[in-house]
Amino acid sequence: MAEQADVMELAKRRGFFFGSNEAYGGVAGFYTFGPQGAALKRNVEAAWRDQFTVKLGNDEIEAPTIMPEPVFEASGHLDGFDDMLVECAECGESHRADHLVEDAIEGIEDAEALGIEAVADLIAEHDLACPACDAALAGEPVEDFNLMFETAIGPGSGQPGYLRPETAQGIFVEFPRLKEYARGQLPFGVTQIGPAYRNEISPRRGIIRVREFTQAELEQFIDPEADEPPIDEVADVAVTLYPAPEQEADDGGYVETTIGEAVADGTIASPWVGYFLGVAQAWYERVGIDTDRFRFRQHRSGERAHYASDCWDAEAEISGNWIEIAGFAYRGDYDLSKHAEHSGDRFTVFKRYDEPKTIEAATVDPDMATLGPEFGADAGDVADALASLAKHDPAAFDADTVTVEVDGDSYTVDSDVANFSIEERTESGEHITPHVIEPSFGVGRTVYALIEHAYATDAVDGETRAYLSLVPEIAPTDVAVFPLVSDDRLVELANEIASSLRHEGVSVAYDDSGSIGRRYRRQDEIGTAFCVTVDRDGIEGDGDATVTVRERDTAEQVRVPVPSLSAELSALFDPESDRTFADLRAAYGAVETTVTTDSS
Stretch that binds a copy of itself, among 16-24, 101-109, 300-308, 544-552 (CB under 8 A): 16-24
Residue among 217, 195, 162, 201 nearest 31 (CA): 195
Question: How distant, in Å, are the alpha carbons of 71, 139, 153, 172, 182 from that of 63?
Answer: 13, 44, 16, 11, 17
- Between 234 and 584, whose beta carbon lies closer to a copy of itself? 234
- Between 89 and 485, whose beta carbon lies closer to a copy of itself? 89
Name which of residues 505 to 544 contact a copy of itself (CB under 8 A).
507, 510, 513
Q: Residue 331 and residue 335: Cα distance in Å, rounded?
A: 7
3-state secondary structure of 318: strand
Q: What is the dihedral of CA 74, 79, 80, 86, to 10 degrees?
A: 160
Stretch that binds a copy of itself, among 109-117, 126-134, 265-273, 339-347 (CB under 8 A): 339-347
String of contacts with a copy of itself for each residue 118-147, x by CB under 8 A:
---------------------------x--
**Could you tell me which residues come within 8 angstroms of residue 566 by beta carbon, excluding any fewer than 6 positions away?**
500, 501, 504
Question: Is 320 an interacting residue with respect to a copy of itself (CB under 8 A)?
Answer: no
Name which of residues 80 to 109 contact a copy of itself (CB under 8 A).
85, 87, 92, 94
Rounded least distance, CB 34 to a copy of itself, Å: 6
Question: Which of 109, 117, 177, 301 touches a copy of itself (CB under 8 A)?
Answer: 177
- Between 174 and 261, whose beta carbon lies closer to a copy of itself? 174
Under a CB-based contact definition with an 8 Å cutoff, are residues 88 and 140 in contact?
Answer: yes
Q: Residue 55: count other Cβ atoms within 10 Å of its Cβ.
A: 11
**Which phi and psi angles does 185 have, rounded to 5°?**
-100, 120
DSSP alpha helix (H) spans, 376-505: 379-392, 415-418, 443-454, 488-503
Name which of residues 181 to 210 contact a copy of itself (CB under 8 A).
181, 183, 185, 190, 195, 197, 199-202
Residue among 404, 405, 401, 403 nearest 416 (CA): 401
Question: Is 455 an interacting residue with respect to a copy of itself (CB under 8 A)?
Answer: no
Under a CB-based contact definition with an 8 Å cutoff, are residues 432 and 351 in contact?
Answer: yes
Going by the DSSP 8-state scheme, the letter that residue 592 receives in this structure is P
Q: Residue 261 and residue 386: Cα distance in Å, rounded?
A: 54
Question: Is 496 an interacting residue with respect to a copy of itself (CB under 8 A)?
Answer: no
Question: Which of 1, 5, 32, 517 touches a copy of itself (CB under 8 A)?
Answer: 32
- Between 66 and 422, whose beta carbon lies closer to a copy of itself? 66
- Between 71 and 123, whose beta carbon lies closer to a copy of itself? 71
- Between 521 and 559, whose beta carbon lies closer to a copy of itself? 521
Q: What is the dihedral of CA 14, 17, 20, 26, to 10 degrees?
A: -80
Name which of residues 282 to 301 contact a copy of itself (CB under 8 A).
none
Rounded least distance, CB 291 to a copy of itself, Å: 24
Question: Which of 34, 229, 327, 439 touches a copy of itself (CB under 8 A)?
Answer: 34
Question: Is 394 an interacting residue with respect to a copy of itself (CB under 8 A)?
Answer: no
Going by the DSSP 8-state scheme, the letter that residue 166 receives in this structure is S
Question: Is 212 an interacting residue with respect to a copy of itself (CB under 8 A)?
Answer: yes
Question: Which of 106, 109, 139, 157 touches a copy of itself (CB under 8 A)?
Answer: 157
- The site for a copy of itself, by CB under 8 A, has a size of 81
Q: Residue 197 and residue 547: Cα distance in Å, rounded?
A: 48
Rounded least distance, CB 82 to a copy of itself, Å: 11
Question: Which of 76, 131, 176, 260 touches a copy of itself (CB under 8 A)?
Answer: 176
Under a CB-based contact definition with an 8 Å cutoff, are residues 351 and 223 in contact?
Answer: yes
Rounded least distance, CB 180 to a copy of itself, Å: 8
Q: Residue 557: count other Cβ atoms within 10 Å of its Cβ.
A: 22
- Between 214 and 257, whose beta carbon lies closer to a copy of itself? 214
Helices 116-125, 97-104: crossing angle, 10 deg rounding: 50
Question: Which of 127, 133, 159, 409 touches a copy of itself (CB under 8 A)?
Answer: 159
Question: Is 580 an interacting residue with respect to a copy of itself (CB under 8 A)?
Answer: no
Rounded least distance, CB 259 to a copy of itself, Å: 21
- Between 7 and 255, whose beta carbon lies closer to a copy of itself? 7
Q: Residue 442 and residue 595: Cα distance in Å, rounded?
A: 36
- Between 178 and 591, whose beta carbon lies closer to a copy of itself? 178
Name which of residues 340 to 369 contact a copy of itself (CB under 8 A).
342-343, 345, 347
Question: Which of 99, 331, 339, 445 touches a copy of itself (CB under 8 A)?
Answer: 339
- Between 84 and 263, whose beta carbon lies closer to a copy of itself? 84
On the CB side of 256, CA atoms within 13 Å amount to: 2
Under a CB-based contact definition with an 8 Å cutoff, are residues 240 and 281 in contact?
Answer: no
Q: What is the dihedral of CA 450, 451, 457, 461, to 10 degrees?
A: 110
Stretch that binds a copy of itself, among 20-28, 113-121, 362-370, 454-462 (CB under 8 A): 20-28
- Between 70 and 224, whose beta carbon lies closer to a copy of itself? 70
DSSP alpha helix (H) spans, 421-487: 443-454
Residue among 598, 593, 599, 596 nearest 516 (CA): 593
Name which of residues 46 to 85 contact a copy of itself (CB under 8 A).
54-55, 57, 59-68, 70-71, 85
Name which of residues 216 to 275 contact a copy of itself (CB under 8 A).
none
- Between 40 and 255, whose beta carbon lies closer to a copy of itself? 40
Rounded least distance, CB 560 to a copy of itself, Å: 23
Under a CB-based contact definition with an 8 Å cutoff, are residues 60 and 193 in contact?
Answer: yes
